[in-house]
Amino acid sequence: MITSIDQLNPNEIYSYADYMTWQFTERIELLKGYFRLMAAPNRYHQTVSGSLHREFSNYFKGKPCRVFHAPFDVKLVKNAEGKTDKEIYTVVQPDICVICDRSKLDTQGCLGSPDLIIEIVSQSSTKTDVKDKFALYQENGVLEYWIVRPSENTVEQFYLENEKYVFKATYVKEDSICPVLFPDLVVNLEEVFEE
């Protein structure tokens, strides 16, 4: 039994079955079997996350889609059918995700791709969110991806077309943004980025 993150080998590939047995308090993700330690978010990150989560939660009240925020396990598998915990090697904890197919929800989180994911970038997560997770989300069919940069008060919006992400726009604090998937949801970024 692994009770300390120091017992993990950074060169070893782990599965979700391994992940579920670990007995330590640090937050981690598995990216194609390799673990990644997650730093605690700062206050402004949490403010932005809370504002976005509130906007989406209010919009989806009484609708079939569900909104979740970290920590919430999303097990990314191209074809979830028949996959056991030992066959799952990617487990992420997006800052915010929207899941419209409730059959993907299980007691541990989500098995399969959410419809929309929002990652709020910090200094320690820039490479992971902008490069690694971008590729993972694209590869696994996440239909829309937002990269939020609180230090710059911007949101980059991407949507999936022909299995590749298409860049829609970069939005600044003075803008409003609508998800491609939910065009009648208007998010006022001035309220999201207010300190």
Tell which residue, 50, 132, 66, has the closest CA to residue 102: 66
pLDDT at 128: 79
Domain architecture of the chain: domains with CATH = 41-192 (3.90.1570.10)
The winner for highest mean pLDDT among 20-34, 112-126, 146-160 is 146-160
**Alpha carbons 132 and 190: distance in angstroms, whole number:** 29
Using a cut of 0.85, tell me whether the model's pTM lies above it: yes
DSSP, residue by residue, 99-110: E--GGGEETTEE
Percent pLDDT > 70 in the chain is: 97
pLDDT at 79: 66
Report pLDDT digits (tens) over 130-146.
899 999 999 999 999 99
pLDDT at 186: 98
Q: Above 70 in pLDDT, residue 36?
A: yes
pLDDT at 80: 64
Report pLDDT digits (tens) over 84-100.
899 999 999 999 999 99
10 Å CB burial of residue 177 (0-12, 13-18, 19+) is buried
Q: How large is the average pLDDT for residues 171-177?
A: 98
Mean pLDDT of the residues in the chain: 94
